[in-house]
Chains A and B, each alone.
Chain A
Amino acid sequence: MSVVTVQLGQCGNQIGGELFDVVANDSSTTQGLCTKKENESYQACCQERFFREEQSGLQVARALLIDMEPKVISQTLLKAVKSGKWKYGEKSYFCQKQGSGNNWADGFCARGPRHTDVLMNMIQHEVEKCEHMGGFFTLMSMAGGTGSGLGTYITQCLRDAYPKSFFLNEVIWPYGTGEVIVQNYNSVLTLSHLYQSADALLVHENDTVHKICAQLMGLKHISFKDVNQVIAHQLGGVLQPAYSSVGATAYGQNPVGNLLESLSPHPEYKLISIFNIPQMAEASLAYSAFTWPGLLKHLRQMLIASSKMEEGINWQVRPPPAGLPSEAKQSPNKQVHFNSSVANLIVLRGKDVDAADTACFKDSALYTSWIPPHVALNVWRTCRPFNKYEKSATLVSNSQCLLKPLDSVVRKAWNMFASK
């Protein structure tokens, strides 16, 4: 099944470009670490999921680029062509002359309705080119005007037009110290509206990814390109093909649907985040060796302590003893809360993946009381390594870890609003 990606605003388009790059590169590099048959099956699945073939033989991304000003789209299109492996469709973009001015209302109330017909037509065109349509994946930021405002509006329209489709919205949380002054207003408005129309909101925080770049990747001067590449790597780790059940012979055909099925047991809980391990500079990959037990132990603690990196994890945080609800637990260290999950999905990729034991994630202490762990936890595997990492584990979690940043954003927005 195919996924149609909708890239909205500067952030959405920049990340989208990186994501397709990662996917195309990963798909085309043969690791030699799995059988040829396996590799071919992986490539075919990835190909159908993200690309379509054109007469020229070049892969065309199943994506739409939408922005209100032309600079970013032209850059993104050019970059794709330069890669030599893939490109965007000829008519797959829409842009205007003037940006939305960081104004959510402009994107949502003015631009959205004005351009609905053109945009929906363009999206429908792309959808019709899919033999089996698996769902929509939208990329946007919360802080700006186009991604946030127009993105929210388009998601609503798409939901109305395709009521039976799955929607996964990737939302980028801005730096806490401000890229845009009105970002808190834009964020609050976006989240409240998107929560109604999206099936799940996959969130990446700029601050966190920045730290990953600084500490794990050892980058000195971190640009948005670096941040976007890390995000694209993490997204690729989730969206690339994997076997969704034990003993399956074919790759999971319904990526977005399966993801949502695993992670959204309850319609009120839609905020999802990604924990990825290991994450390091490409140059260091050749010198590193990992074991599954080591990786999974770190991953579990990352989840419990809401830490997105394998360095600096707080090992003091422990799940509450069985039988006690987590609210009753008085933590001596009030700052760090134990992160309770609603649902978890682990995607394991690489060598000896079948030997990896995920029992530690089946602990009922990790989850809320109203969902039994064998339902709350899903594991997908493939022995085909991802993006040059011999072993990698991605945990997609529906848990409390976004509470603190969310509270902070709401508080700042409210203070700004209530001040005069």
Chain B
Amino acid sequence: MTQSIVVQVGQCGNQVGCRFWDLALREHASVNKKGIYDEALNSFFRNVDTRGGVDGADVSSGKICSLKARAVLIDMEEGVVNELLQGPLQEVFDTKQLITDVSGSGNNWAVGHNVYGSQYRDQILEKLRKTAEHCDCLQCFFVIHSMGGGTGSGLGTFVLKVLEDDFPEVHRFVTSVYPSAEDDVITSPYNSVLAMKELTEHADCVLPIENQALVDIVNKINQMASSGKLGASMKLSSTVTSGHGGIKTQEKPFDAMNNIVANLLLNLTSSARFEGSLNMDLNEITMNLVPFPRLHYLVSSLTPLYTLADVNVPPRRLQPSLSFISWNQEGWKTALCSVPPVGHSHSLLAVANNTCVKPTFIELKDRFVKLYRKKAHLHHYLQIDGMEQSCFTEAFNSLTSLIEEYDKLDATKGSLADAPRLSIAV
């Protein structure tokens, strides 16, 4: 069984991460009634014998002693991480897995990437190595961060490069939260575009999440819940936004949205953790869904969002009504897992490498251009060591060429002609 390590960077990354660990514990608790430390738990948790003090040895089988998350938490200001450590999840984290600083990155990608990057590189590497040593077969890193801020986007992408250099064989899955149009951080377009360049070059696979989409989902669910008849029959604890049954008791504002992301990650890894009739390992995701190395942006959708009590939803085979690229007419990769998520009898996660990411990128590019044309807020970045205007133009060009590549694929949609076949010399 392979292990995965979660690297959470910045406020958003850590808050989403916190929901992820809570829900992961909830899921394993509902499957693993006997409290035995099994293979599925092994992929995300260590089982530590804490009798010998905090630095206990790993116990590889038998009853659960104390579960520790395979995670590294990084934030340049202490508030979020401290709250996590004082909350109900404190037992799951090791203080040795944290890297914090005091003052934060000031929503500045350059501060996160260049200043804190160089300052904390060795520490970060050491913590990662330590965590990796506890894994006997490390398969991938999950990096969770946001694109709009300073730490998550700057230091997060710096960590990505470190992972690529020092753990080249381990897959890097990045969950990036993209800012919505009404984002409250003015410099988010700069941060996002600068981070995009790093993602395109150093990540194996990116799952972009738009805050706007999360807000829409939450609103839809709330609407369903409060609207009369249908609302009454909806099982509130089963919604994809609910943290019901987890450790945390009080729900905070972004929790509903973060729960959705956490559920996405759990569903993605479910086939690798639990048994099924058609298993899918995480390396199969990259293998099947990334046709060209730069085009690794995978859009995800999850269903059901909520379960209606007393309604039996029969599973049906997927009806292909999407237009596929001409050279891969039936581009489906299927995985079947026998263990359903908590509160549902079955669920479907669809991850697609789809040119619909193009509008998102184009919007991002437009917001960037609006600011950059006036050189607004640029001096904050340029006064950092190692930042020059060329960094901005390079990042902008990287994004533009990515959009062009997706454009080209859109253009080939119509042509169905088969390529001429090789003729065999007799």
Q: How far is the CA of A112 from the CA of B382 in the complex (A)?
A: 52
Number of A-B contacts (CB under 8 A): 97
Interface residues on B, range: 35 or more
CB distance from A86 to the nearest CB of B (A): 22
Which residues of A are found within 8 Å of B292, using beta-carbon distances? 420
Q: Say yes or no for A75: interface residue by CB 8 A criterion.
A: yes
Most chain B C-beta atoms within 10 Å of own C-beta, residue among A69, A102, A224, A420: A102
Residue of B nearest to A419 (CB): B327
Interface pair A101/B419, CB less than 8 Å apart:
no
Q: Point out the residue from A70, A145, A179, A418 that lies within 8 Å of B333, measured CB to CB.
A: A179
Q: How far is the CA of A133 from the CA of B130 in the complex (A)?
A: 51
CB distance from A90 to the nearest CB of B (A): 19
Residues 210-228 of A, flagged 1 when their CB comes within 8 A of B and 0 if not, give 0000000000010111000
Residue of A nearest to B316 (CB): A221
Which residues of B are found within 8 Å of A145, using beta-carbon distances? 284, 287
Q: Point out the residue from B326, B331, B334 that lies within 8 Å of A419, measured CB to CB.
A: B326
Interface pair B327/A416, CB less than 8 Å apart:
yes
Interface pair B288/A180, CB less than 8 Å apart:
yes
Residue of B nearest to A69 (CB): B281
Which residues of B are found within 8 Å of A180, using beta-carbon distances? 284, 288, 333-334
Q: Say yes or no for B330: interface residue by CB 8 A criterion.
A: yes
Q: Interface stretch among A242-250, A348-356, A407-415?
A: A407-415
CB distance from B290 to the nearest CB of A (A): 10
Q: Say yes or no for A321: interface residue by CB 8 A criterion.
A: no
Q: How far is the CA of A20 from the CA of B314 in the complex (A)?
A: 32
Which residues of A are found within 8 Å of B332, using beta-carbon distances? 177-179, 181
Residue of B nearest to A96 (CB): B137
Which residues of B are found within 8 Å of A234, using beta-carbon distances? none
Which residues of A are found within 8 Å of B277, using beta-carbon distances? 14, 223-225
A-facing residues in B1-23 (Cβ within 8 Å): 1-2
Interface pair A182/B288, CB less than 8 Å apart:
yes
Q: How far is the CA of A419 from the CA of B420 in the complex (A)?
A: 11
Most chain A C-beta atoms within 10 Å of own C-beta, residue among B277, B292, B421: B277
Interface pair B331/A98, CB less than 8 Å apart:
no
Q: Point out the residue from B39, B137, B289, B421 that lies within 8 Å of A181, measured CB to CB.
A: B289
Q: Say yes or no for A97: interface residue by CB 8 A criterion.
A: yes
Q: Say yes or no for A10: interface residue by CB 8 A criterion.
A: yes
Residues 338-367 of B, flagged 1 when their CB comes within 8 A of A and 0 if not, give 000000000000000000000000000000
Knowing A14-B277, A72-B279, the reply to whether A415 touches B331 (Cβ < 8 A) is no
Which residues of B are found within 8 Å of A14, using beta-carbon distances? 277
Residue of A nearest to B317 (CB): A177
Q: Point out the residue from B278, B283, B315 that lies within 8 Å of A101, measured CB to CB.
A: B283
Q: Say yes or no for A12: interface residue by CB 8 A criterion.
A: no
Interface pair A98/B283, CB less than 8 Å apart:
yes
CB distance from B55 to the nearest CB of A (A): 25
Most chain A C-beta atoms within 10 Å of own C-beta, residue among B136, B320, B327: B327
Which residues of B are found within 8 Å of A223, using beta-carbon distances? 277
Residues 52-77 of A, flagged 1 when their CB comes within 8 A of B and 0 if not, give 00000000000000000111100100
Q: Say yes or no for A293: interface residue by CB 8 A criterion.
A: no
Q: How far is the CA of A418 from the CA of B415 in the complex (A)?
A: 14
Q: How far is the CA of A182 from the CA of B332 in the complex (A)?
A: 9
Interface pair B2/A102, CB less than 8 Å apart:
no
CB distance from A353 to the nearest CB of B (A): 36
Most chain B C-beta atoms within 10 Å of own C-beta, residue among A10, A177, A221, A411: A177
Q: Say yes or no for A405: interface residue by CB 8 A criterion.
A: no
Q: Point out the residue from A98, A178, A221, A419 that lies within 8 Å of B281, measured CB to CB.
A: A98
Residues 390-426 of B, flagged 1 when their CB comes within 8 A of A and 0 if not, give 0000000000000000000000100000110110000
Q: Say yes or no for A103: interface residue by CB 8 A criterion.
A: yes
Knowing A177-B320, A177-B330, A415-B327, the reply to whether A103 touches B287 (Cβ < 8 A) is yes
CB distance from B421 to the nearest CB of A (A): 6
Q: Point out the residue from B283, B320, B326 that lies within 8 Å of A99, measured CB to CB.
A: B283
Residue of B nearest to A11 (CB): B278
Residues 215-244 of B, flagged 1 when their CB comes within 8 A of A and 0 if not, give 000000000000000000000000000000
Q: Say yes or no for B139: interface residue by CB 8 A criterion.
A: yes
Which residues of A are found within 8 Å of B1, using beta-carbon distances? 69-71, 97
Knowing A99-B283, A221-B315, the reply to whether A179 touches B278 (Cβ < 8 A) is yes
CB distance from B87 to the nearest CB of A (A): 33
CB distance from B335 to the nearest CB of A (A): 9
Interface pair A102/B328, CB less than 8 Å apart:
no
Q: Say yes or no for A372: interface residue by CB 8 A criterion.
A: no
Interface pair B326/A98, CB less than 8 Å apart:
no
Residue of A nearest to B408 (CB): A420
CB distance from B116 to the nearest CB of A (A): 33
Q: Say yes or no for B101: interface residue by CB 8 A criterion.
A: no
Q: How far is the CA of A403 from the CA of B53 in the complex (A)?
A: 67
Which residues of B are found within 8 Å of A72, using beta-carbon distances? 275, 279
CB distance from A213 to the nearest CB of B (A): 13
Most chain B C-beta atoms within 10 Å of own C-beta, residue among A101, A182, A225, A418: A101
CB distance from A75 to the nearest CB of B (A): 6
Q: Say yes or no for A325: interface residue by CB 8 A criterion.
A: no
Most chain B C-beta atoms within 10 Å of own C-beta, residue among A14, A97, A178: A178
A-facing residues in B140-192 (Cβ within 8 Å): none
Q: How far is the CA of A194 from the CA of B369 in the complex (A)?
A: 56
Q: How far is the CA of A316 from the CA of B405 in the complex (A)?
A: 50
Given A179-B334, A181-B328, A412-B330, 4 more pairs with CB closer than 8 A: A98-B281, A181-B288, A223-B277, A420-B292
29 A-B interface contacts by CB (under 8 A):
A10-B278, A69-B1, A71-B39, A75-B275, A97-B1, A97-B2, A98-B2, A98-B281, A99-B279, A99-B283, A99-B284, A101-B286, A101-B287, A102-B287, A103-B283, A103-B287, A178-B332, A179-B332, A180-B284, A180-B288, A181-B288, A182-B287, A182-B288, A221-B314, A224-B277, A412-B328, A415-B418, A416-B327, A419-B327
